[in-house]
Structure 1
Amino acid sequence: MLVFSDLENQSGIWEETKDLFASDYLHINNLTEYNDEIYLDALDDIQKHVWNCGGGSITEYGLPPSRGGEKTSNVVRRERSYNKEKLKEEVAQKELLLNDKQKQVYDAVMYRVHFGHRYKNNGIFVNAAGGTGKSFVLNMLLDSVRSQGKIALAVASSGIAATVLKGGRTAHNIFKIPLMEYNEVRSCSIKKNSELAKLLELTSLIVWDLVVMANKNTLTALDITLRDVLENEKFMGGKVFVCAGDFRQILPVIRGGGKNEELEHCIKSSYMWNDLTKLELTENVRLKKDDTKNILFAQKLLQLGSQSEGPVEFDEDFGVRVKSRQELVDKVYDDIENNHLNASYFEKTSYSITYE
């Protein structure tokens, strides 16, 4: 509530709730009456959680100071806790594995990290279909920046995608994007001089994966907030901002909306789209060159998402044909009733199914 919301009476919230927050410490210390030490224990706990959420000293929110209120937040320390020597070794090994398109993306981003001050806009969009090694390149960029002792923030539009990035979190979590209707988002809950603002000031690279899922208003809110907090009128406050995704996949979800509304609110409809440098990954690195069947399957999927005119034709033996939704469910998730709590069940190899 302190970090993410603008409470009407922050200064009075402590007096109203202090006994509730301190009750655990009253019990732990086997006491029957509250005292100043018990309240300080509670304030220390609140301060720790506020720092972990990217906030500053609790005195900024109208609360009394904690014992460690003047200590440095662990927000910056967390982003600088990586083993630089180990990361350097990993980056050197991975550089040898990059194909031409991947190396083009890697070199372009790292050049901006070192010489971004020469550019008016340091935004880059990486268009990458599934299997082209997007996560590999993004993680390599994060490793490379962190190996130099610099800060790289990794975010994604969904929690599952965030787990693929090293040190990844959701964009809403790290940038304090308010959880409200897309048309109500105006700015992020980041206060000037807060610990999160200090972290952003020290950041050299921001990576946002699955950005095509993000509503353009949330990106606008982040852009406005960074310009304001960092007092820099360049795009995203002058930070190197790398976003990636595939427009064949899920676009922003609009309550009660259809295709037109989704397109209207995706990043392509944002003012920032024309100013982003566009790069692309095209080679499917998951498939072996002699794997003809799966190569054909991958090509057909790309056609479905790319072909603007005419039907996409499939051979008779392409995939498994079903005639109802229930049969589709049964073929994809056979015996799901007995396996819905079994994680390994959902990791099985999928196959092509055509619903007639």
Structure 2
Amino acid sequence: MLRNLKDNKKFGKVIANFYVIEFQNRRLPHAHILITLAPEDKPKCPDDIDVIISAEIPDKDTDPLAFETITKNMLHGPCGPCLIDGKCSKHFPKKFCAETTFHDNGFVQYRRRQNREPIIVNGRAVDNRWVVPYNRDLCVKYNAHNNVERVSAKVCGEESFEDIQTIDGVIHPTFRSACHALGLLDDDNEWHETLSEASNWALDSQLRNMFCSILMFSEVSDPKQLWEQHWGELTDDLERMMRRQTRNPKLRLTPEEMQNQGLQEIEHILNKLGRSLTDFPDMPQPSSELARNALNRLIRDELEYDTHDEANRFDTLVRGLNTDQYRVYAAILDAHSRDVGGLFFVYNSGGTGKTYLWNTLIAKFRSKRKIVLSMASSGIAALLLSGGKTAHLTFKIPFDLDQHSICNFKKDSTRADLSDICNDNRVFGGKLVVLGGDFRQILPVVPDEGRESIVAATLHRASFWRDCQVMCLRINMRLCRSDVPSDTLEQIREFADWIIKVGEGVIAGVSITEEGNVQRYYSSDTLGHTEDGGILDNMEPMELLNSLNLSGLPNHCLELKVGAPEMNTRYTPCRCVTLTTLNVNMRVRLLWMVTEQSRAKGTNYVHRSWSMVFTDSEGNEVQITLFNADIDKYKENLKRGKVYSIAQLELMPLDTSYKYATNQMRLKFGNKTMITEILDDCDDIPRYNFRFIEFCNIPQYLHMRNSPLIDVIGLVIYVSESYRVSGGRQQFKRDVLLCNTNMETMRLTLWEVFAHDQGRFLFYELNQDHVLGASMVSVGSYYGACLSTVGRTRLFIDPDINETDDLHG
């Protein structure tokens, strides 16, 4: 063909030529030829173009040979591989055009007249709009596809790399995308169809392997577009995988996190094959920070708040801010917007809207998908905050502090990851921290020290106080309510003034304002005898000694009224048990979580009992045991794992024969006992309350009296077959071998129902790396210390606690 074009001067004198031969797997080789004609032979007008190039179907009667050749080789379609987003990438069918014209950009629009009826070719109707431009003599001579076109005559010479990337006035980000816009690259429809078809039957992991194979062993012109169009099919299983990995069935990944996890999986597959996503510049790269956040359960919990609900909640709260609150709110938001961190302390007395301001700020930041840690020093205060927790729970602060106390963080746990404060030497690592409270209510207690030591322990003397910006709230929101009667507002005002007077020391004593007579009970004090039998007559008068109120000693006079509350701090290990004096009976109101159940039977007659261990937010335990008819009365109202508010109970000593909790006292239901289930989230109350013993410390329990029961946890590494033990009565048992994080092992023997239920499950699921938590197991000796289940034992497979994550890690 080159000889025909050059020697025979088919189109005129050829002064330059350039050609490229392409070899394809599925087609025969073909050539792209560019020839430059001498100036005198170049077509200069539309009539010159029509002489050598045609884009119309020849007449079948006058030129049957050309008609047969053109309809066989030079018709485009039907469109299939050339479709991109439902449109033909070659821009067929073209528009009808009565005559050949030149465009301003130098390109030619060939004549395609609408002068005949469409013809039927291979079952479809075609006309001149579907004809690929051709030269009649070349097509007839070679009886093949010969696309002949005149190239643009007005193309500006490129003067920079930016000019090369500019196509039709659009600057493309890469040279590849510019070539793709010019149609110089083959499309990727084949790979799009391959992935779409495979997604109907292949697993997601198989699709990811196929995607990597396409990247490595095929010519993909636009890998990024291939990924963006099919990433949903490649990552459909990753959310389920993450739920199993984090043991969080409520986990929800955002589309951005799903794409990032998919890229992580693609990168892992490519790395095993000696490649990386960095070898494909157009492909997006995975973010390691997003991957870490997806695996960190603490961060996930803080990011799972519904931003739409939080935004609606914020819109409601922000409209209720008074001028003082809005001034503080604006200052905090300004510090956040400038990303300068900051430490604020909002000082105010009760009723000025601390909690309302906190919840407004919390809703604002959570609506923007920011992490907010809302904490309080007590459980009651934490319940008033949205998603609030105690500082002791969040930061694992010990309750009994001394100079050797440390926070109980496990190494490499998700909670320990939060200890990194961004390598910043500013206060609190440059994070935005907002503190608040009333100094009248948060005065520290320093045992056996005077006023000077107490003042030295206050927040004002902290090293960071000089960096703290103090802001005050003075408007009492309780007095601004329009829906409260005037007499009630006056009572609220009097109470607010009374609170301030108590805090400022104006009212220093305790008064009982309830109606009724005051009952006074005095301590029984006598002077001791000396060694020689004499009386200490020279001591201070008895009246003076009784008037002294010393720390650590009860007052001489105890005043009580019917209906007045008292605080019992000595008789029971329960913290802050509120008692009410009602004649001779004592009532208690507590908030607990049901954690265990048990049943016992007598010998001579059926004597039913049902014991429950309740746990509060600080980990304190108390037991309630029901007998006989009371079981049927209350059992349906109490479920394991639920949170209840229980009022009107009696406090009494615990019978050791029914003891399941560590507390020496128990609660008893009465006729007026009221049980209310708490439906709100109570994350500060633990679902499990274990006191795990390290394996290395178990042998010391062998020599203790009364055979104490202990709690242990470990990774199950071996489970034996169930076998029968002969003795006084035949029993079934099964041995389980546990391993802790220090690679120490301990044998636990499961008896009877434990061997059949949990033991059987662990035996068939041994390859799944389950963690077993055992509560109240006995310690024995058989070739060393070992453990055994008893009637009170409770087993928990993969409990949702930090120790489980540590063992899986």
**TM over 0.5: same fold?**
yes
**Local SS of the residue matching 1:248:** coil
Asked if residue 171 in structure 1 is aligned to residue 391 in structure 2, the reply is yes
1:155 corresponds in structure 2 to 375
Deviation at 1:292, TM superposition (A): 2.1
Deviation at 1:94, TM superposition (A): 1.1
Instruction: Normalising by structure 2, report the TM-score.
Output: 0.28
Q: Which segments of 5 or more consecutive residues in structure 2 lack a partner in the other structure?
A: 1-243, 249-291, 521-557, 566-579, 591-644, 649-809
C-alpha contact 1:145 1:151 (8 A) present in aligned 2: yes
Amino acid at match of 1:166: S
C-alpha contact 1:84 1:146 (8 A) present in aligned 2: yes
Name whichever structure is richer in helix by fraction: 1
Summarize the Cα distance change of 1:328–1:234 in structure 2 as closer, same or farther, 3 Å threshold: farther
C-alpha contact 1:124 1:241 (8 A) present in aligned 2: yes
Deviations 1:233-278 (A, max 9, x none): 0100110011111111143343444554433222122111222100
Deviations 1:290-343 (A, max 9, x none): 322331232132133236xxx5699xxx88695754325743434294431475
Deviations 1:3-51 (A, max 9, x none): xxxxxxxxxxxxxxxxxxxxxxxxxxxxxxxxxxxxxxxxxx99869xx
Q: Which segments of 5 or more consecutive residues in structure 1 lack a partner in the other structure?
A: 1-44, 50-68, 201-225, 347-356
Amino acid at match of 1:105: V
Distance 1:328 1:116 in 2: 56
Distance 1:189 1:340 in 2: 32
2:497 corresponds in structure 1 to 299
Please, which moves more after superposition, 286-295 or 83-92? 286-295
Identity %: 29
1:83 corresponds in structure 2 to 306
Summarize the Cα distance change of 1:335–1:329 in structure 2 as closer, same or farther, 3 Å threshold: closer
**Local SS of the residue matching 2:440:** coil
Amino acid at match of 2:588: H
Deviation at 1:113, TM superposition (A): 2.0
Number of matched pairs? 249
**Local SS of the residue matching 1:152:** coil
Asked if residue 327 in structure 1 is aligned to residue 550 in structure 2, the reply is no
* Higher alpha-carbon Rg: 2
Distance 1:135 1:233 in 2: 30
- RMSD (CA atoms): 3.9
Amino acid at match of 2:349: A
Alignment of 1:53-92 (within 5 A): 72-92=295-315
1:242 corresponds in structure 2 to 434
Asked if residue 275 in structure 1 is aligned to residue 467 in structure 2, the reply is yes
Alignment of 1:84-163 (within 5 A): 84-117=307-340, 122-163=342-383
Deviation at 1:189, TM superposition (A): 5.2
Distance 1:180 1:101 in 2: 37
Deviation at 1:229, TM superposition (A): 4.2
Instruction: Normalising by structure 1, report the TM-score.
Output: 0.59
Distance 2:469 2:435 in 1: 10
Distance 1:274 1:245 in 2: 17
Summarize the Cα distance change of 1:114–1:197 in structure 2 as closer, same or farther, 3 Å threshold: farther
Distance 1:70 1:81 in 2: 12
Deviation at 1:136, TM superposition (A): 1.2
Specify which of 407, 410, 414 is matched with residue 195 of structure 1. Answer: 414
Please, which moves more after superposition, 254-263 or 83-92? 254-263
Please, which moves more after superposition, 83-92 or 170-179? 170-179
Distance 1:139 1:163 in 2: 12
C-alpha contact 1:192 1:229 (8 A) present in aligned 2: no
Distance 2:434 2:468 in 1: 9
Distance 1:76 1:135 in 2: 24
Deviation at 1:89, TM superposition (A): 1.1
Asked if residue 230 in structure 1 is aligned to residue 422 in structure 2, the reply is yes
1:14 corresponds in structure 2 to none
2:737 corresponds in structure 1 to none
Deviations 1:142-176 (A, max 9, x none): 11111101100111112222222111112122123
Distance 2:422 2:409 in 1: 11
Name whichever structure is richer in strand by fraction: 2
Deviation at 1:178, TM superposition (A): 4.2
Distance 2:327 2:411 in 1: 36
C-alpha contact 2:347 2:470 (8 A) present in aligned 1: yes
1:181 corresponds in structure 2 to 401
